[in-house]
Chain A
């Protein structure tokens, strides 16, 4: 369990992290969201002692993180980087050994990961001989080489093609299923919504929303109704207790209260339009995010 406990970091006159408190739990994927410059990278760096905190502490299993803990952490920084002229295997073994693992164990896990990500035959090549995508994979292995209990990934999905993204999502879920704590930042909110059990939203250094995603979505007192229909557009404004969020040619998005009876809305819609599809759901993560950040 990773806990941020009132973490505050100021850079001169700017407060990058303002009394941040949240947790990332083992066995779960935690999405760390926020606009650019909100403090995500600073917070992630704080886990690894890369920024000196002004107040508060980052805790691992209820004790302030110490260097020994960090040997059990994996980190993929936002600015990717490894030694360009070093051979892939040497480089990964070196990084594994820096975590204090035995050469034998390191060799084994490097071999396993290279095999698993399809890089086994490139192990003896220099890193700069690899394609961009493969370099990204090596970077990921660098974070995984010590079989970490806590994995912190800064924008792991950026620059990946859809297939690689899926593979990455699968890999992260697998790691979490094996009991690892996974915290990653992303701007792909749809992906985060599908993947993560927990989210943390940060804005201007302050945590504005944190918790279990399903709960957070359910807690919002609004529901959204998406309707697709045939024929001319009816006058939605007559529909009681609903407001039009967005209306297009043959579809409309309505906002209703959380306590609205779905059947009632459906009946009202059926009265007015030739219905093609109808969904009723709590706000998506994107909507939660927009609300939280705009507030």
Chain B
């Protein structure tokens, strides 16, 4: 039994279960119908090329033949309707039976605005017919006339922005970029939500007891990737069949090699971003966390997408070259340059190597993040938590951090939940960081603008850098999303369930109860019929937005630490190790808060939630 086989089993499950879901089947049908309609409808709706031309009054003998000839040259089929009287012919024009009426071979009558192409054709034909008449009158031989009238050939060529590529090719490359972008982001996000769903449904612990985390992640990414390739393939096939069937759409001259590279880059880009998405997915706890944990990657992808547009306009510029090698942008920029014929044969190979190296690095990093975060439950983690290996210390299910008897001094800014909260000084540092990064962004923007002599690219580069930097700082330091509606009650007395089983809470967890009252509490918890039983009781009650509750580790009376906000009569006979407080948000210093000390101030509010010692003293405000 090796990892590869297990990863394949995971991939197979992804493919089977997802292809069975109605949502996926609907998306396949929708894409095929949509693409086919986009190709076929324009042909069906294209105005017919047959024109009705009426002739009234005296006209040169060869006029009809000349008009037909000229019209054919312009790709129009002309039908003739001779009229005996001008009035009848004009009536026909007014009723829309005729597109144009040639009156006395000298006046064109239209119902409304003249059709310029038809006007040119008919006018030219009349001129020609007149010239032939005059030539016959002047006794010029038909041969001499033909020599006189022989057209001097003039052709027109669309140069496009790159040698050897037409605007049609550019459009094809644009479409290819869009398909790459949407493919990578759609399937990447499937990985994200898939990881989150596994975590939220807790199945991940069952899986990880059987297979290594990297096999699980790899299998998931591979399965969704194969499914994505298949879906894109089926859609492309439908598009080809539709295009071939109507035959009128110009399929731009896309060479096989460009197409092959596009597939390679889809796979590389998907692997790169899906790995990141998978790792970030493990940071959240609920499917709703998806947006907040993956926002930064989305921003990066959008920036990469728009940056790759620049390569279509100027595929040989320094900027285009640079981003076609940079792994995060290469999956969209390099196929653009290949499509525009601007890349030497070795360039995509080198860029692919670089991207592969980046993927290898990211897989290591993602594996580390994933392994540490995947078993953590509670509020979404930040990357910094992972870096400091706090994830595993989140009580999750074990409650192992909350040793009550003698709380060891915790590093500043770390709550018992294993989530990192910023203290005042860190907040300041964080603002400084943002300010500095914004400054760098401005400098980069100006530099790019000067270098490329294009203000718009400069502004885009600067703004892109600032946006990415901000997102990165957010990801690194804290969670963008709202706090999870979880109330942690630690070291509660008996009877707490009643006090907290109010519909205000979506979930109440009790963990780590120690001390002399424990057996009573254990009995109380065990007697509860909550789904998880002891040591954690989950009360799932109707959803409402509860105030955020955090756990603060307190040692009474120590300088710089907080003291419990309880009257002395309600205090425990021994030092109160943990105190649960509500707090509406990040900084909730309020008058009336009796906690003191810089570490705890952020968390306190005027409403102490739990008066720890006994059921009598429990109040929720």
Contacts and interface: CB of A to CB of B under 8 A. Distances in A.
Interface of A: 9, 11-16, 35-42, 45, 48, 50-52, 67-68, 70-71, 73, 75, 77-86, 90, 94-95, 97-100, 132, 142, 155, 157-159, 187-188, 204-205, 286, 289-290, 293-294
Contact of B526 (A15, A38, A158): A158
B288 interface: no
Contact of B205 (A77, A90, A286): A77
Contact of B403 (A37, A42, A81): A37
Contacts of A41: 397-400
A265 B418 CA distance: 56
Contacts of B400: 9, 11, 14, 16, 37, 39, 41-42, 205
Given A14-B403, A50-B205, A100-B1, A158 B9 contact: no
A81 B198 CA distance: 9
Interface string B240-256: 00000000000000000
B339 to A, nearest CB: 40
Interface in B197-222: 198, 201-212
A14 B526 contact: no
Contacts of B13: 94
B210 A70 contact: yes
A15 B403 CA distance: 9
Question: Which of A84, A98, A289 has the largest count of B CB atoms less than 10 A from its CB?
Answer: A98
B534 interface: yes
Interface in B490-549: 510-514, 516, 518-519, 521-523, 525-526, 529-536
B9 A94 contact: yes
The A interface, classified by DSSP as helix, strand, loop or mixed, is loop
| Chain B interface residue bracket vs A | 35 or more
The 3 A-B residue pairs with the shortest CB-CB distance, nearest first, are A81-B202, A158-B533, A36-B535
Given A16-B398, A77-B209, A155-B534, A37 B9 contact: no
A98 B17 contact: no
A49 to B, nearest CB: 8
Contact of B522 (A94, A98, A187): A187
Given A14-B403, A98-B211, A205-B400, A35 B202 contact: no
Nearest to B372: A52
Contact of A79 (B16, B198, B377, B399): B377
B551 to A, nearest CB: 13
A91 B569 CA distance: 55
**Residue from B16, B408, B418, B526 with most neighbouring chain A CB atoms (10 Å):** B526
B206 A95 contact: yes
Contact of B511 (A12, A37, A68): A37
Contact of B518 (A35, A82, A205): A35
B398 A188 contact: no
B588 interface: no
